[in-house]
Amino acid sequence: MQLTDLTAVRLLDGYRKGEFSPVEATEQALERARRSRPEVNAFVRLTEEDALARARESEARWRRGEPAGAVDGVPVTVKDILLMRGHPTLRGSATVSEQGAWDEDAPAVARLREHGAVFIGKTTTPEYGWKGVTDSPLTGITRNPHDPARTAGGSSGGSAAAVALGAGPLSLGTDGGGSIRIPAAFCGIFGLKPTYGRVPLYPASAFGTLSHTGPMTRDAADAALLLDVIGAPDPRDWSALPAAPGSFREALRGGVRGLRVAYSPSLGGQVAVRPAVASAVRRAVARLADLGAYVEEADPDFSDPVDAFHTLWFSGAARLTQSFSPRRRQLLDPGLREICARGARMSALEYLAAVDVRMNLGRRMGRFHERYDLLVTPTLPVTAFEAGVEVPRGSVFRRWTGWTPFTYPFNLTQQPAATVPVGADGDGLPVGLQLVAARHRDDLVLRAAHALYEAEVAATPPVPTTVA
């Protein structure tokens, strides 16, 4: 049995029944990670010795019938933006020194550690997570497991690739403008950006309240399991929400019958969507209707908020690098250096004007969700394009936001949003469908996504054996 193809839920069931052990699962996940490393480049580092030690401890607990927590013995990867005790967090940047104590976990990592997770490595990110593809001067290019000539997406590209490869069924990503959903869609896995504050973040992101931490998994049930673990308050994050009133795993039940679903194929004609993407999403939406949802084609009434997003994003980047010396600044990705320079020229009044746009958008979406439980869109208008570039060749756009118009608006509004793999284009590249709900209704997003998996509309496609 290939344990690398199993979900976390299935692994835990196998541990409970004695069918296989955390050591076996960890060894197979590490082997997948090692084998794919030269071609895909999903990992900054593998933590093999620590992982096997934790797996052996977990195996002993399972033999005693005393698991430490909800994910005891499950192989997990962590985006190298989040702190993980005992290992450097370099954030994809040559400007960060490996020296230091590195003696603290980010809140989500701490919760996983308490629940017995096995950390097998840190995954790649563009420098400071600044763009929608994953390459950096420090680690080079991260490639798509389905076609290594294509990008894995970003900024949580290493995490998405790791899950798609079977190098651990659970991963922690971050999402400030689509950074969980973009690579999850390109790599054919499930990715959830929870409501802002549902998963505490420490240290705080330079991009402020745009940035969310969330699950990247093989399906919605695994994401619910992971969110139950990491969605606990942490005193280091003053903006964290209180504990959820119930279990997200329990909320998976019930299906979509009776839910009011708005289907927006192009945000009111604002987005040109590739035909193969549009067709796959439309087929999945039709299945939601077959499953009992009330589906109506309807668009949220907003124009593209990209200028406001850029103001908040670029000024955050400028603040992040404000203290850098000229020599240190020269180490940065040239694109990051460029947006930092733009952000440094922005005024407080421009920033506050962007906040006004954000508040208006949030109000509009709040009203929209009085009529609809869920909004469905394509996650992205394109499938994975050439690796090593920020935008597709021939694009009229200079920045990654040009091809991600469905993702960043919902960072501005702080709503829960997930991507579900619902098919592939003619080249076999995955297509993602995005589910969005009102703030604090992460349960609805997970429930609808789970219904698509249960109906076999959604699935993580296998990667070529030459890669995995």
Q: Is 79 a catalytic residue?
A: yes
Beta pairing partners, 84: 87
In eight-state DSSP terms, residue 239 is T
Alpha-helix residue ranges (DSSP H) falling in 231-325: 275-290, 306-320
DSSP letter assigned to residue 78: E
Q: Which of 21, 36, 58, 79 is catalytic?
A: 79
155: annotated active-site residue: yes
Helix (H) or strand (E) segment spanning residue 187: helix 181-187
Is 104 exposed, middle or buried (CB count within 10 Å of its CB: 0-12, 13-18, 19+)? middle
Q: Which residues pair with 435 in a beta bridge?
A: 376, 418
φ/ψ of residue 395, rounded to 5: -70, 150
Cite the DSSP H helix spans in 65-149: 107-114
Closest CA to 237 of 339, 137, 105, 399: 105
Confirm if 269 and 278 have CB atoms less than 8 A apart: no
CA-based end-to-end distance of the chain: 15
17 given a catalytic annotation: no
Query: Are the beta carbons of 230 and 222 closer than 8 angstroms?
Result: no
Per annotation, catalytic residue among 171, 179, 205, 264: 179
Helix H or strand E encompassing 452: helix 442-454
Helical spans, DSSP H, in 5-132: 8-17, 22-40, 48-64, 107-114
Q: Where are the beta strands (DSSP E) in 176-280?
A: 190-193, 212-217, 260-263
* Sign of the Cα pseudo-torsion (464, 157, 153, 233, in order): positive
The one-character DSSP state at 148 is E
Question: What are φ and ψ of residue 175, in 5° steps?
Answer: -145, 105
Query: Among the options 155, 205, 211, 264, which is catalytic?
Result: 155
Judged by DSSP in three states, 155 sits in coil
Contact call for residues 348 and 311 (beta carbons, < 8 A): no
Cα dihedral 24, 30, 36, 42 sign = positive
Write out the catalytic residue numbers. Answer: 79, 155, 179
